[in-house]
Amino acid sequence: MCELLGMSANVPTDIVFSFTGLMQRGGCTGPHRDGWGIGFYEGRGLRLFQDPRASSESEVAQLVQRYPIKSEVVIGHIRQANVGKVCLANTHPFVREMWGRNWCFAHNGQLANFNPEPSFYCPVGDTDSEAAFCDLLNRLRSQCTGPTSLETLLPVLVEACVEYRRLGVFNCLLSDGDVLFSFCSTKLAHITRRAPFGPAHLRDADLQVDFQAETTPDDVVTVLATEALTDNERWQVYQPGEWRLWRGGECIAQGLSA
Amino acid sequence: MCELLGMSANVPTDIVFSFTGLMQRGGCTGPHRDGWGIGFYEGRGLRLFQDPRASSESEVAQLVQRYPIKSEVVIGHIRQANVGKVCLANTHPFVREMWGRNWCFAHNGQLANFNPEPSFYCPVGDTDSEAAFCDLLNRLRSQCTGPTSLETLLPVLVEACVEYRRLGVFNCLLSDGDVLFSFCSTKLAHITRRAPFGPAHLRDADLQVDFQAETTPDDVVTVLATEALTDNERWQVYQPGEWRLWRGGECIAQGLSA
C-alpha cells in the first residue's frame, strides 16, 4: 500500500513539516520504499518532483525538504509497489492537462480486474492507479462539451469513485489547481489548522513546529494524510465512502457514498 | 529570445557539463533571466525540473548540476520572456501525454498573430510557444486513428513547422522519448561526440571535461544548442529551414524545407 499527502490552504503555505514526516515513512519508519512524488500548484503551473528511489534516501526529497515551496494546493504520495514495476513512469502523482488546466492525481489502494475502455487519455506506465486516473478524466471529459470545473463535475466524480471502490481499495486525491477532491475507500484523515495556532510534533521524526510563529490569524490550512502525521493534535478520520471537496483550506462540500 | 538545449545518446548519459554551460547564460553570461527548465526521459517516464527564476540563481538548477541524471533524450530551455509573463505555467519545456507517451517540447523564437483553432490539447499558460505545441499535437493526433510514432509523423511535423516559421521565428525541439526532432528557423547547432573522445571546454564557464575518461568506445552522444556551448570543438550549424531527426545520438533523417 501507499500513503497520500494533500494540502489545501487559503494562502500560499509551505508543506515542509508534513512532507518531512511523510518522507520518513518512505523506507525509514515505514515500508514505502518504491518511490515518492509531490506536486505543488503555483498559479496555473504545477511543480512536480518525483523519484522512484526511497524518499528517505532521495537527494531530490532532501531538496524539497530544504526548500520551502509555497503553494495553496499540494498532492504528495509515497509508494510501496504492488501493481507495476518500480520506475519513474509508475511514480505518483500523475498529471494530465485537461481544458487548459493541470489535473493532478494520487491513489492509495489496488483495483482488481480493472480494464477500462481505451480513450483519449492513456496511461504511460503500467499501474492500476494511472489507468484509473486516465479513465476518470476520460469520463469527465465525455460528459462535457467545453471546459468545466471540478466542482461542477462532482456528481460524476463521486459516481466513478464509488465504482472503482467496488473493484478494490480506492483512496484518492485529485485537483485541478483550484479545489482538492478527496475520496476515502478505507483510510484517510485530515486536520484543519486555524487561529489560535499551536505547536505540532511529528509522529515519524523528532521535529516540532510552532505554527503560531509562521502564520497570520487569517490563515486556514488543511492537511490530508493516509494516517495522522502528528501525535499531539486531533486528526479527523474519514469514514469509508466519505468524500470531501476542499478550497482555500475549507471543506466546501462533503458526502458519504454507499 | 531563448536558448535551447537537446541531447540524444545511445547510452544513458549525463548532461551536467552542457547544462552547466547553458545555465550561465540564464542571467550570468547571457540575458535569459526569465526561467529555465529541463526534461530527462527515464524509460517511458519524464523527469522535469523547472523554475521561473534565473537559472544562475536557482537552487533547483544547482541540484540538477550536482546530480548526474543519466538519460538518452534530454530537452532543456532558458527563457527571456517576450510573450507571456514570467511564471511557472509559461516555463519550457512543455509536456503532454499522447498515445500513452510523454511528448516534450521547447521553442526558441516568437510567432506573430498566431491563433490556432482550439482543439483537444489546450495551453495552460499564455505563451505562443505552448499554443504552438498544443496545435502541433492536435494536428498530429487528427491525422491518426491510433498510436503513431513521431518518426512516422515526420511529414506532418515538418509541414507544420514550415507553416509556423512563416509567422515568425520557430526553432524547436520535440521528443516522444524515442527520437528527438529538431527544426531550425534561424539558429541551431549540434555536435556529435564519438570515439576517439577528447577534452571539451565551456565557452560560458571555466570548466573543462575529458569525455575520454567518462565514456566507452561505443558511446555516441549528440548535443544540440542554440549556440555552440564549447570553444574548442567544431559545432555544426543548421541552415535556416533545416530539420534533423535523432535517435541514439545518430541523425536518422534530415531535410531542408523551403
ipTM score for this prediction: 0.93
How far apart are the CA of A178 and the nearest CA of chain B, in angstroms? 13
Nearest residue, CB atoms, B122 vs list A88, A97, A125? A97
Contacts (Cβ under 8 Å, ≥6 apart) of A171: A4, A107, A108, A109, A183, A184, A185, A186, A187, A188, A226
pLDDT tens, position by position, A196-245? 998 999 988 888 888 888 889 999 999 999 999 999 999 999 999 999 99
User: Which H/E stretch holds residue B18?
Assistant: helix B16-24
With an 8 Å Cβ cutoff, is A125 touching chain B? yes
Nearest residue, CB atoms, A43 vs list B88, B102, B123? B88
B chain contacts of residue A52, beta-carbon cutoff 8 Å: 45
Q: Is the dihedral of CA A148, A151, A155, A157 positive or negative?
A: positive
pLDDT given at position B12: 95
Nearest residue, CB atoms, A44 vs list B42, B44, B124? B124
Nearest residue of B to residue A50, measured between CA atoms = B47
Q: Which of A5-9, A18-22, B242-246 has the lowest mean pLDDT?
A: A18-22
Dihedral class, residue B244 (left if φ above 0, else alpha if ψ from -120 to 50, else beta):
beta
Mutant choice from B59, B88, B99, B133 vs A, greatest count of A C-beta within 10 A: B88
Q: Is the dihedral of CA A102, B60, B94, B102 positive or negative?
A: negative
All structural domains of chain B: 6-250 (3.60.20.10)
Nearest residue of B to residue A119, measured between CA atoms = B99
The grid coordinates listed for B36 are 529555465
DSSP helix, strand, coil percent of chain A (3-state; round to 5): 20, 40, 40
pLDDT given at position A38: 94
Tens digits of pLDDT across chain B (258 residues)? 689 999 999 999 998 888 888 888 776 777 777 889 999 999 999 999 998 888 777 888 888 888 878 999 999 998 887 777 889 999 999 999 999 999 999 999 999 989 898 899 999 999 999 999 999 999 999 999 889 999 999 999 999 999 999 999 999 999 999 999 999 999 999 999 999 998 999 988 888 888 888 889 999 999 999 999 999 999 999 999 999 999 999 999 999 998
Backbone φ and ψ of B199, nearest 5°: -80, 150
Mean pLDDT, chain A, integer: 92
Nearest residue, CB atoms, A44 vs list B42, B67, B89? B89
Contacts (Cβ under 8 Å, ≥6 apart) of A182: A6, A172, A173, A188, A190, A224, A238, A243, A244, A245, A246
Q: pLDDT tier at A63 (50, 70, 90 boundaries)?
A: confident
Interface of B with A in 41-70 (CB under 8 A): 42-48, 50, 52, 59-60, 63, 67
A chain contacts of residue B43, beta-carbon cutoff 8 Å: 87-89
Residues of B with catalytic function: 2
pLDDT given at position B17: 86
Nearest to B178 by CA among B43, B4, B76: B43
Residue with cell 548519459: B13
Q: Kindly tell me if the per-residue pLDDT of A1 is higher than 70.
A: no
Contacts (Cβ under 8 Å, ≥6 apart) of A138: A116, A117, A119, A120, A121
Euclidean distance between CA atoms B225 and B220, whole angstroms? 17
Structural Rg of chain B based on CA atoms: 17
Interface of B with A in 158-197 (CB under 8 A): none
pLDDT given at position B69: 86
Under 8 Å CB pairs connecting chains A and B tally to 75
SS3 B42: strand
